[in-house]
Amino acid sequence: MAQHAAEVECADCPIRHRAVCAKCEPDELDRLEQIKYYRHYDQGQTIAWAGDEMGFVASVVRGVATLSHTLADGRTQMVGLLLPSDFIGRPGRTTSPYDVTAVSDVTLCCFRRKPFEDLLVSTPHVAERLLIMSLDELDAAREWMLILGRKTAREKLASLLTIIARREASIGLIRPKGPIVIDLPLTREAMADYLGLTLETVSRQISALKGEGIIQLDGKRRILVPDIGRLVDETGDDMDGGIVA
Amino acid sequence: MAQHAAEVECADCPIRHRAVCAKCEPDELDRLEQIKYYRHYDQGQTIAWAGDEMGFVASVVRGVATLSHTLADGRTQMVGLLLPSDFIGRPGRTTSPYDVTAVSDVTLCCFRRKPFEDLLVSTPHVAERLLIMSLDELDAAREWMLILGRKTAREKLASLLTIIARREASIGLIRPKGPIVIDLPLTREAMADYLGLTLETVSRQISALKGEGIIQLDGKRRILVPDIGRLVDETGDDMDGGIVA
DNA sequence: CGATTCCTTGAGACAGCTCAATTTCGGTGG
DNA sequence: CCACCGAAATTGAGCTGTCTCAAGGAATCG
């Protein structure tokens, strides 16, 4: 787990303008550059178990990771879906309250806890950015709560696909014209854990959406959306096609 | 909506040490003191509708407020339960994405947006505290997601009561010995909106817990918990009585 | 003390779950 | 390139927890 490359200068970093370092001035970036190091995880590997000591915080540079809660009897709920530029860990806490898992091959840009916390105090732009990112995550969590608490299985699936499509679009992974291609990094089980469903129900709903031509499957993990509007219509968010905040 | 009193100096404020101002030095507190003003809302009043312009941010001083999402067809999910010291609004955004409602009589300590944002930049202790509070909210939202996605109706009720008991205890409203008294400010419908259930199911589960002696009712809104351990056993968080993080 | 709002309880319906059997995909080695 | 293997996904049948619809019953307030 070493030769994955991706070690780069901050200036050339793919997440330079979205991650916790986004607002840094050149001198602040230098300080981050000095304390950063990369780690790689293979698909399926656990980055941390709930309760584990975590000596670092990190940004996701590449790949997808999840945060999840597991009850004693095995029921699992995903509570965070971490895409490139998302932040792992929190200042002032040394153990992860969640299981952190690499669902694809993952590269993290890590900072040892202590130097990072020092930096938070001394460089306002990092703390400022972290606040904004945390508030964005909080908004996302609250939208997710609506999905979990009040939506039907079909609406849940449509919502998940819409969210992933939106995020990939915002990162610039999506060709502007033609059908949207979602390169879904999640298994049916992971989707079920995201949505509070069983994997069978996820599978049935995907089949139903496919049967109605709202989505098309290309292999197991790739989904085509010929008309994003039709998908959004199924999310339940909005009954007459307006734009959803 | 004026003579509710509660207008006080920051130094005498009941939430002085928990709110966004908790870490302020005396001079920072002076600056806050100068830009703050109080507003009162009656039980049931709407503080802001989703999409409304909100010219201020605020701390809850007294009472309970909720944040909720409503779908076009009327389904509602509560996404925030704001007790004294909790913060309303976010820097850099002028409209509330949620309905904000006073579920009891509420007093807010308000700051007009612009001066508050200036203050965030110039006084690190406010921004720092806001970050910590946001991260705490994020953790709470994630625990809530587990409840919404994976717990049974009975576990949901037990979890809600446990959470309220914990929060009241941490504010110091609970007598240390004897049965815990939860002075529940929520209607059955509000509990249902919190938990992603119908009000009938909430009512049935409360009756069931009462029937088994795990809780007792004193009137409609007050709940006695003779043995908090038995209640926690019903939350599903833990199958053998250990302490839940 | 009447009105209103909130709560409780019941009966039947249904969405999603459980358990179980195939089928398909994607990789691997011959 | 093809045949095979294991993991992942699909599909079916029956079950159950929660919802829906509906009818009373209690608390609170003017």
Domain contains A158: yes
Q: Which nucleotides of chain C does any protein CB come within 7 A of?
A: 6-11, 15-20, 25-26
Domain contains A240: no
Instruction: Output the distance from A219 CA to D4 C1' rounded to whole Å.
Output: 20
Kindly report the number of other CB atoms within 10 A of residue A8's CB atom. 13
Closest nucleotide to A196, Cα to C1': C16
Domain contains B244: no
Domain contains A173: yes
The CA angle A199-A204-A210, to the nearest 5 degrees, is 125
Alpha-carbon distance A173 to A84, whole Å? Answer: 12
Distances (CA, A) of A45 to A37, A42, A138, A183: 19, 6, 26, 20
* Cα atoms in the 13 Å half-sphere on the side-chain side of A112: 5
pLDDT at B243: 44
Task: Indicate whether A38 and A72 sit together in one domain.
Answer: yes
Task: Indicate whether A195 and A139 sit together in one domain.
Answer: no
Subset of residues 114-133 in chain B with CB less than 7 angstroms from any atom in strand C: none
> CATH code at B201?
1.10.10.10
Alpha-carbon distance A35 to A146, whole Å? Answer: 39
Range of weakest confidence among A33-42, A98-107, B5-14, B196-205? B5-14
Domain contains B241: no
Distances (CA, A) of B102 to A225, B40, B65, B80: 42, 10, 4, 12
* pLDDT one-digit tens code per residue, A142-199: 999 999 999 999 999 999 999 998 887 776 655 556 788 988 889 999 999 999 999 9
Which domain covers residue B103, as residue numbers?
A: 3-143
pLDDT at B7: 73
On average, the pLDDT of chain A sits at 90
pLDDT at B178: 72
Domain contains A244: no
User: pTM of the full predicted structure?
Assistant: 0.93
Chain-centroid distance of CA A129 in Å reads 17
Phi, psi at B162, each rounded to 5°: -65, -40
Alpha-carbon distance A77 to B111, whole Å? Answer: 37
Task: Indicate whether A170 and A75 sit together in one domain.
Answer: no
> Is residue B4 within 8 Å of residue B40, measured between CB atoms?
yes
Task: Indicate whether B17 and B63 sit together in one domain.
Answer: yes
Task: Indicate whether A90 and A197 sit together in one domain.
Answer: no
Instruction: Output the distance from B201 CA to D16 C1' rounded to whole Å.
Output: 15
Residue B37 confidence (pLDDT) above 60: yes
Tokens 């609970």 found at: B174
Residue among A76, A138, A236 whose CB faces B138 most closely: A138
Residue that finishes a domain, picked among A143, A178, A212: A143
Probe site for chain B from A77, A98, A142, A148 (most B CB atoms < 10 A)? A142
Residue A137 confidence (pLDDT) above 60: yes
Domain contains A41: yes
**AA letter at A171:** I
Residue that finishes a domain, picked among A143, A160, A184: A143
> Is residue A76 within 8 Å of residue A149, measured between CB atoms?
no
**Residue A220 contacts strand C, CB under 7 A:** yes
Task: Indicate whether A82 and A164 sit together in one domain.
Answer: no
Task: Indicate whether A156 and A136 sit together in one domain.
Answer: no
Tokens found for residue B183: 């002075």
Residues in chain A: 245
* pLDDT one-digit tens code per residue, A109-124: 999 999 999 999 988 8
The strand pair at A222-225 and B76-82 is best described as unpaired
What is the number of structural domains in chain B?
Answer: 2
Q: A86: pLDDT confidence band, cut at 50, 70 and 90?
A: very high
Q: B245: pLDDT confidence band, cut at 50, 70 and 90?
A: very low
pLDDT at A179: 81
> Is residue B50 within 8 Å of residue B69, measured between CB atoms?
yes
**Residue B208 contacts strand C, CB under 7 A:** no
Task: Indicate whether B178 and B209 sit together in one domain.
Answer: yes
pLDDT at A153: 98
Chain-centroid distance of CA A104 in Å reads 11
Burial of B24 (0-12, 13-18, 19+ CB in 10 A): buried
On average, the pLDDT of chain B sits at 90
Q: B241: pLDDT confidence band, cut at 50, 70 and 90?
A: very low
Domain contains B108: yes
Task: Indicate whether A161 and A87 sit together in one domain.
Answer: no
Residue that finishes a domain, picked among B85, B118, B143: B143
Residue B87 confidence (pLDDT) above 80: yes
Three-state DSSP string of chain B: CCCCCCCCCHHHCCCCCCCCCCCCCHHHHHHHHHHEEEEEECCCCEEECCCCECCEEEEEEECCEEEEEECCCCCEEEEEEECCCCEECCCCCCECCCEEEECCCEEEEEEEHHHHHHHHHHCHHHHHHHHHHHHHHHHHHHHHHHHHHHCCHHHHHHHHHHHHHHHHHHHCCCCCCCCEEEECCCCHHHHHHHHCCCHHHHHHHHHHHHHCCCCEEECCCEEEECCHHHHHHCCCCCCCCCCCC
Task: Indicate whether A135 and A167 sit together in one domain.
Answer: no
Task: Indicate whether B69 and B7 sit together in one domain.
Answer: yes
pLDDT at B203: 97
**Residue B220 contacts strand C, CB under 7 A:** yes
Task: Indicate whether A10 and A126 sit together in one domain.
Answer: yes
Range of weakest confidence among A135-139, B150-154, B239-243? B239-243
| Residues on chain B touching A77 (C-beta within 8 angstroms) | 145-146, 149-150
Q: Tell if the CB–CB gap between A150 and B75 is shorter than 8 Å.
A: yes
Q: Name the nearest CA neighbour of A192 among A105, A66, A88.
A: A66
Residues in chain B: 245
| Section A90-95 average pLDDT | 93
List residue ranges whose Cβ is under 7 angstroms from nucleic strand D. Answer: A 187-189, 199-200, 202-204, 206-207, 217, 220-221; B 152-154, 196-198, 200-201, 219-221
B177: left (phi over 0), alpha (psi -120 to 50) or beta: beta
> CATH code at B69?
2.60.120.10
Distances (CA, A) of A183 to A210, A228, B187: 16, 15, 44
| Section B80-102 average pLDDT | 95
The strand pair at A36-41 and A87-88 is best described as unpaired
